[in-house]
Each structure stands twice: as C-alpha cells, then as structure tokens.
Structure 1
C-alpha cells in the first residue's frame, strides 16, 4: 500500500529517493510513544457506510460488530442490483478482505480501501466483507491474525440478512493487499488445519496482492529498492519492529515465509482442498522477491497458483492507477 500522501498530488516520477538516513517515523508521520502506542498523523480520509437504496450508489455498505471489546468490525459491501433482482435466490461469492498498512496504519473505513471494495463488489458481483482488525504496536501480532479468524467465525454464524440472504457460503475467498495479504495468508494456514470448523463457510482460495513478508537475510529486490520513494526498506523494517512480538526479529514465523508454520504440510493440505491462490506482484516493489518465493514454495507442493506479475510499478500502485486496479479485479473475476 502507498504511504506518501503527497503522491496524491504529484507524479511518482518527480519524487526523489529518500536518503539512507531517512527517519521512517517522520516518513509515515507517526510517533512511537513510551507506552508502546503510536501517535498517527498520516492523512487518512474515511468514508461512512450507506445502505440507503434511494441514493445513486451501485454498492450498499454497512458495518457489523465482530468484537466490542476489541473494537473490531466488518464492513459489508453488497451490489445494489442484487437486492432488486434476487427473486431467483441468486447467491453471490464472498470475498473477505483485509486492508494494508503494515499492521500499524489505516482502517477498513479508509476511503482508499472503501472505494476499492466497492469496485470489487460491483465488478466481480460478490459480497465483500472488509475486516477492521486491531493495529500494532498497541496490539502486536498475532492480534491481527486472531481477529481474522474471529471475523470468519462471525460470518459463519451471523444472522445478518446480507449474509444469509445473498452469500453462497461455499464460495469464499480470503483476500488482502500488503500486510492485509499476509493476514489472509496466515488465516488460510489456520483454516486449512480444520476446514470443518468453518462449515458451512468453505474457503475456495487466497487472493494475495503484494503480500508483506520479511526476514533478516536481505533479498535482491530489497537491496535494489532500498531507497524506493514510496516504500523504502527502512519503513518495512520499522513496521515489522512495531508489529512483531517484543524481543523477536523478522525471522519469526509471523514474518518469515520459511520459518515455522509447518508450511510444507499446510501447502499440501491447501492443494488437497483444491484452493486456488492468486499472487499479484510488481517488479518495482521491494517485496517482489519474497512474493516470488511464496509462489515457488507453493508450486513445489502442487498448489494451484495463478501469478499476476507486472514489470515496474511500485508498492500500492493500484491506488494511483485506475487501469491497474481494473486489471487486477479482472484477474480476481477469473477465479470465480
């Protein structure tokens, strides 16, 4: 996901790479406080939900609570034409979406994610459930991963009519961008261990856009794009430092693809379940080599992986170039 608000008003080509002495906290306009909280000053416009069918909107939206104590909730996106044309009991696929932000920033209510989910729901003709999960460092990992599972449990048991009346529970996909893609991935690893626990909800696949993974050993793309103007390496490192449990490094299983998690066994189970996995990446994103590693590991275990690779670009490009967003959503449409 993009972090520089000034990118909204100037061309990416005009930006100068940050120096190697860039302060990642200043870069993101945040302050790390002594009590392990953040003061967040990054501009982040929010959009309120609306389920008013008289308004000229294509997708209806509303929020439902997951956990009051944790202040977590779902934002549901329902194509409006579905509410008027469901006489034949047409049920729609469900996409459970997790927003990006390096585990430390932004919200399901952030306008950039709200609009993205609107377009996803309308184009794919699916119900989208965007998860408001707890942020680090106030709630370090695995809090976000736990919230993902609690969201799925809520969806499975909810009596909300947008879910019970319009969703085909046998066609559910877990989706995210950046850190949200990592949340979707880790939720998938948990789900595949006990798929029956989620019935009647049945996961059909993962949709991972520029997933955020880390490790102590630098990849070629991390070295090459260390001073990337949109997502420099120092920002990536700082996000992991704030998101991971205190006292562990980026080689922890919450971050590093090849550490823990019994991934060989779990990838075998993903294959056996017949899940499809879409991994979308850009050559100009410092995370691209770790994304390629994920694809390689999954393919070695026979997982049905669809790769959406674009030369160039940058992290979060879909929020600045409409054509990229449309092309990505069309790839998602192919999975259904």
Structure 2
C-alpha cells in the first residue's frame, strides 16, 4: 500500500542462541561458548616474540591482569622504556576474558606491532556484576599498575606514557574509566601522578540508545552483531531499572559529557575507530562528535566494509589498526 511508513522486518535470530548463553532463574547466565583459553608463557628462553604472565589484582573479585612484553625488549637499551597500554577486552560486558585465544593473540600482535607493554585486564562480567562493576575494576587496575612492583613494568614500562584502550565493550570501559581518571585528577593533583595518561584508544566502541540510528536500521539483521542482540547485552549489563539512554550506554546524555572538559585540560588525545559494516557505527561517530565539540583532539578512522569485531579477528584490519595506534602514540609523545 502506498503512503504507509516502511517497517523493517522483524529480527529472525534468537539473541540467546546467537550469543550462546542461557538465562538462569537467579538472573545469572550460563555461557555455552567453547572458546579456547591460552596459558601465559613468561619464559624468556622460549623462541616466542612476546612474553606473557598473569598477575592478581583483587582476589576477592577474581580480577587479574595479563601482561604482554615484547621479547626483543630484553635485548635492547634498558633506558629506553616502552609505552604502557592498559587494554580492556570486548564481549558486551558478559563474555570472554584476557585468556580467550583470539583476545590473547590480539594483544600479542598489539605488543609486537606497536612495541608496547600491554596490560590486559580481566574485569568482572555482567549480569552477575552489572555496571558500574567493570568501571570500578578498571579504576582499581590503574591504581594497581601504579602501585605494584612488577619487574616487567618497572624495568621496561614508561609510566609517563600510558594509554587506556579497549575494543567494543572494552572501549566503553576505557572511555568511562578515562572520564573518571580525568575527573578525579581535577580534585586531587596527586591522583595517578606517577601513571601519566596521554590518551584513549577506542576501537569500535560499544554504545547505543533507545532510538535506532541509521546504521542499525540498515544492518538490522547483521550476521555478526544485530541490534536486538545488543539490546540483550545492555539488558543484562546495565543497572536494573534503567534504559539504553543511561549515560553508561548513551554517551551523549548525562553528566559524563561534562567530564570531557577535564580531558581537554589534561591534553589527552582520543582515537575512535570503526567501519560502516558495523551496526554501531553511527553511535561511534556520535561519540566522536561529542568529544570533538568539547575541543578534545580526536583522531577518527571510519573505513568502508568490515564488521563489528573485524579489528580483532581480521589480521589485515588488525594490522591497519595497529599502524594507526603506533602513529597515534608517536604523535602523542611529541
């Protein structure tokens, strides 16, 4: 019939099946995925490009850090310290860990390509620990990096050249943790003084709103991350009783926008990357505009094609991202 508004087809994919999870009566979930976990390899005598080891952050929360150290660093000038990238993995706040095989491999390549120490944080997952638990864990991890005496970080890491990075939901965590750090630095100049943050690196950040944006409507039945699957992730991770226009999900609303003033004053730079094959791209571009409108220096990279998570699993896209990060860090040091 002419004159009738267009209604997109109803999504056909069951979000629980898509995510391979089941909901339990007590509100927890059972994760049914069969992802492999990789053990760390700290032995410098092994013929591997990057050494790895796990450290406990908070035993009561079961939060840990996996540290990635480029093997070639051991043979170089000990006075040349490496940038420290604090990395938060994706998974919609409900899935994966720093030991998940593809995330471990990503950090191996990131450490090697960018010649940096990567500290990948295992934070508490929702719905067992809803937001802001992951943000709290991120802040605790930053304090831990500053105060503990791990020899890899102490001997090879440049505490004056640190970046907070994440992919997807991890980029959401990196952004919100960055705002917290900036705000608390404003109150107490000694806060994280010995761990100088120079910027945020947000790869395909996971944000949304109650209103569907054009990229979501265009990719309503996306094979990788259809919008209704995102809806379930937000339902499981946001505080009980709030919707997707809460500031944890929608960065264009709430008090968080004001926190960008302090980010500008601190001279941080922000990298936001994405692609037009990702249903979340318009949300990511809106985030970049909000940051830019606060006169924070933003490096934007939105490419054609791809999909959500391409920068994790597609080695060509991953290398392009790592080259971008290397340039971003090099410029931020000057």
TM-score (structure 2 length as normaliser) = 0.93
Structure 2 partner of 1:34: 25
Paired with 2:67 and 2:123, the residues of 1 have a C-alpha distance of 14
Structure 2 partner of 1:329: 322
1:271 paired to 2:284: no
Answer with 313-322 or 204-213: which moved more. Answer: 313-322
Structure 1 partner of 2:280: 287
How large is the RMSD of aligned CA atoms in angstroms? 1.2
1:238 paired to 2:232: yes
Paired with 2:171 and 2:18, the residues of 1 have a C-alpha distance of 23
1:145 paired to 2:98: no
Paired with 1:46 and 1:119, the residues of 2 have a C-alpha distance of 17
Paired with 2:313 and 2:111, the residues of 1 have a C-alpha distance of 19
Paired with 1:253 and 1:296, the residues of 2 have a C-alpha distance of 16
1:19 deviation in Å?
Answer: 6.4
Structure 1 partner of 2:115: 125
Partner of residue 250 from structure 1, selected from 239, 244, 266? 244
Deviations 1:65-116 (A, max 9, x none): 11000000000000111122244x2111000000000000000111111111
Paired with 1:19 and 1:325, the residues of 2 have a C-alpha distance of 33
Paired with 1:252 and 1:278, the residues of 2 have a C-alpha distance of 23
Q: Which runs of 5+ in 1 are unaligned?
A: 1-17
Task: Tell me the secondary structure at the aligned position of residue 90 of structure 1.
Answer: coil
1:225 paired to 2:216: no
Report how many residues are paired.
317
Task: Tell me the secondary structure at the aligned position of residue 165 of structure 1.
Answer: helix
Task: Tell me the secondary structure at the aligned position of residue 193 of structure 1.
Answer: helix
Q: Which runs of 5+ in 2 are unaligned?
A: 1-8, 330-334
1:318 deviation in Å?
Answer: 2.1
Answer with 170-179 or 217-226: which moved more. Answer: 217-226
Deviations 1:262-302 (A, max 9, x none): 41x32221111111111001011011001110111111111
1:175-214 to structure 2, matched below 5 A, reads 175-195=165-185, 196-214=190-208
1:309 deviation in Å?
Answer: 1.0
Paired with 2:53 and 2:59, the residues of 1 have a C-alpha distance of 16
1:320 deviation in Å?
Answer: 3.4
Partner of residue 311 from structure 1, selected from 275, 285, 304? 304
Task: Tell me the secondary structure at the aligned position of residue 66 of structure 1.
Answer: strand
Deviations 1:115-167 (A, max 9, x none): 11111111111110000000000000000010000000000101111111111
Answer with 252-261 or 166-175: which moved more. Answer: 252-261
1:64 paired to 2:58: no
Paired with 1:320 and 1:249, the residues of 2 have a C-alpha distance of 31
Paired with 2:231 and 2:256, the residues of 1 have a C-alpha distance of 25
Partner of residue 80 from structure 1, selected from 50, 71, 76? 71
Deviations 1:187-220 (A, max 9, x none): 0010001233112001000000110011111111
Asked whether the equivalents of residues 274 and 281 of structure 2 are also in contact (C-alpha less than 8 Å), the reply is yes
Structure 1 partner of 2:3: none
TM-score (structure 1 length as normaliser) = 0.92
Structure 2 partner of 1:170: 160
1:225 deviation in Å?
Answer: 0.9
Q: Runs (4+) of structure 1 moved beyond 4 Å?
A: none
1:153-168 to structure 2, matched below 5 A, reads 153-168=143-158
